[in-house]
Structure 1
Amino acid sequence: MSTAAVGSTPPVAIVTGGSGGMAPGIVRGLRGAGIAVVITARDAGRLAAAAETIGGDCLALASDARDPASIESLVAAVLARHGRIDVLVNAAASSTPISGAIETVDVAALIADLDVKVGGYLRYAQAVVPAMKRQGRGHIVNIGGLTGRSSDTLSGLRNAAVSHLTKVLSDQLGPAGITVNAVHPGIVRTPHLAELFAEMAHAENTTPAAIEARFVAEIPTRTILTPDDVGAMVATLAAAARPTITGQSLTIDGGYSRGIFL
């Protein structure tokens, strides 16, 4: 039995970072699994535009990952409308990497970055867990990133922290039938990726196509992911009928990362 078949009403998911580039693919994946979706983000205007782009019955409710009161209001609104919360997909994050010489790193910016992603993930989890415990089941999927496995950018430590947070939550929530997993996407074709390729091309006096070709050559499958690829992985975890996969950090990158993780 899938999650979609449990109960008299369809299961419900909250997707944070709902105005981001991966949100449409995540929403499509969840819908394909029979899950109703509520997207949320801080900027109400961008969130409404995202909901219009996604289309269908996609409820958009603003909330701020840094503000526990706004998150509690969001959860209360979802419960008032649907009566349940079955899935939380944490994807809210700043898109600006923090790097550079250690002597000049903006520590305040780094802490603020962690507050949005790591602190935000924990705040949303704190808010939905009581409802999931009452239901006796639930799935939390934390979107991380492969920068947590390299030293390229200092802000990659947020993704290492996401893996740690995921494992801690899975230990605590497993007895309640709640799974918690992290998904670490590789190179995904989003508007942010196009901006990155353009910036790199400008710096190297070449073309975005040449930059993309260089990255593709380093991927064993020679394929850049799409948001729908990420959404399919998220949906697999979110629609699991039994709490068998939990506490895991799962990579979806076409083989781009070369580390061996047991």
Structure 2
Amino acid sequence: MDLQLKGKVAFITGGSMGIGKAVALELAREGVNVAIAARRMEHLDSAAAEIREALASAGDSVGAILPVSVDTTSMASVEAAMAATVECFGRLDILLNGAAHPGGLVRAELENADPDGLLQDIDIKVVGYLRCAKAAAPYMRRNGFGRIINIGGLTGRGSKQLSGMRNVAVVHMTKTLSDQLGPDGITVNTIHPGVVETPHIHELYEKEAQKQGLTADQVEANYVKATPIRRVLQPEEMGWIVAFLASPKSGSITGESVGCDGGLTRGIFL
């Protein structure tokens, strides 16, 4: 399928590692010019070099990679990063919101929960996503086309961690923005990744192993056993899903939340 993405421009927060970096690679393979954005330029430069190396054998049809420093807790920083992207590439079509503390800062029981950590989680992930959408929307309106894809999380579909409330808020924001931006040709959707092979997931295995008195390998095996497809997901699989949602082919899908978890979620969502 031709996703009709060649020549479009994407801005990816959390683009220096994990899912964000994988999405950048897949979009660039489709011919999208991609700005990868995060706070630390040294990580961005390293990620950009890795992506360009992976694209080296793909010929001239691939997109360019632009590292851009951004602090999503600052509206001024977000606006400057978006402006730099448009100055370089001439337009902005796709926003992937992915900048957040992996897993959230508030994972403990109520008596040990840190309200300041929860506020920080919400400022970065929820309000940060809003800042980016607010800055990106005028550029998308100018083209009569836009795709905003938010990275949520399965903790929003369960009750295990207080930090999960940020993912519930992201879903609410997604639906609200889809109503507001739909008439301008802009869709807004959320994906909830499951257990994905990233550096963060191995940190989670170690933490859970200490809590449960298991080894990290045993924790991973238990996750695999609980997943109907019986495997850990790969970052590029998130990239494929985002590439479709970012394309003109997905224009009928907006305001939705998609679990990309291999069936791990047992709830039924209508």
TM-score bracket for this pair, using the shorter chain length: over 0.9
Of 179, 197, 221, 1:171 maps to 179
Matched, 1:127 2:128: no
Partner of 1:88: 95
When structure 1 is superposed on structure 2, of 163-172 and 209-218 the one drifting more is 209-218
One-letter amino acid matched to 2:135: A
Structure 2 Cα separation of the partners of residues 224 and 186 of structure 1: 8
- Structure 2, unaligned runs of 5 or more: 56-63
Matched, 1:4 2:1: no
* Cα RMSD (Å): 1.5
When structure 1 is superposed on structure 2, of 92-101 and 125-134 the one drifting more is 92-101
When structure 1 is superposed on structure 2, of 11-20 and 48-57 the one drifting more is 48-57
Structure 2 Cα separation of the partners of residues 151 and 247 of structure 1: 23
Matched, 1:38 2:35: yes
- For residues 207-228 of structure 1, the C-alpha deviation after alignment (integer angstroms, 9 at most, x for no partner) is 2221111110000110111110
Partner of 1:137: 145
Partner of 2:10: 13
Structure 2 Cα separation of the partners of residues 200 and 124 of structure 1: 33
- For residues 90-123 of structure 1, the C-alpha deviation after alignment (integer angstroms, 9 at most, x for no partner) is 0000124412232332111101110000001000
Q: Secondary structure in 1 aligned to 2:248? A: coil
Partner of 2:20: 23
Matched residues, number: 258
Partner of 1:105: 113
> Is the Cα contact below 8 Å between 1:188 and 1:226 reproduced in 2?
yes
- For residues 205-251 of structure 1, the C-alpha deviation after alignment (integer angstroms, 9 at most, x for no partner) is 43222111111000011011111011110000001246211000011
Q: Secondary structure in 2 aligned to 1:139? A: strand
> Is the Cα contact below 8 Å between 1:149 and 1:160 reproduced in 2?
yes
Query: Runs of at least 4 residues of structure 1 off by over 6 A?
Result: none
> Is the Cα contact below 8 Å between 1:97 and 1:153 reproduced in 2?
no
> Is the Cα contact below 8 Å between 1:33 and 1:239 reproduced in 2?
no
Structure 1 Cα separation of the partners of residues 165 and 180 of structure 2: 23
Q: Secondary structure in 2 aligned to 1:4? A: coil
Partner of 2:195: 187
TM-score (norm 1): 0.94
Matched, 1:63 2:63: no
Residues 151-166 of structure 1 mapped to structure 2, 5 A cutoff: 151-166=159-174
Structure 1 Cα separation of the partners of residues 250 and 100 of structure 2: 29
Percent of residue pairs identical: 45
> Is the Cα contact below 8 Å between 1:137 and 1:176 reproduced in 2?
yes
Structure 2 Cα separation of the partners of residues 101 and 43 of structure 1: 32
Matched, 1:53 2:50: yes
When structure 1 is superposed on structure 2, of 18-27 and 161-170 the one drifting more is 18-27
> Is the Cα contact below 8 Å between 2:28 and 2:65 reproduced in 1?
no
Structure 2 Cα separation of the partners of residues 34 and 169 of structure 1: 27
Q: Secondary structure in 2 aligned to 1:52? A: helix
Q: 1:102 to 1:198 in 2, by over 3 A?
A: closer
TM-score (norm 2): 0.91
Partner of 1:78: 85
Of structures 1 and 2, the one with the larger relative CO (CA 8 A, separation 6+) is 1
Q: Secondary structure in 1 aligned to 2:179? A: helix
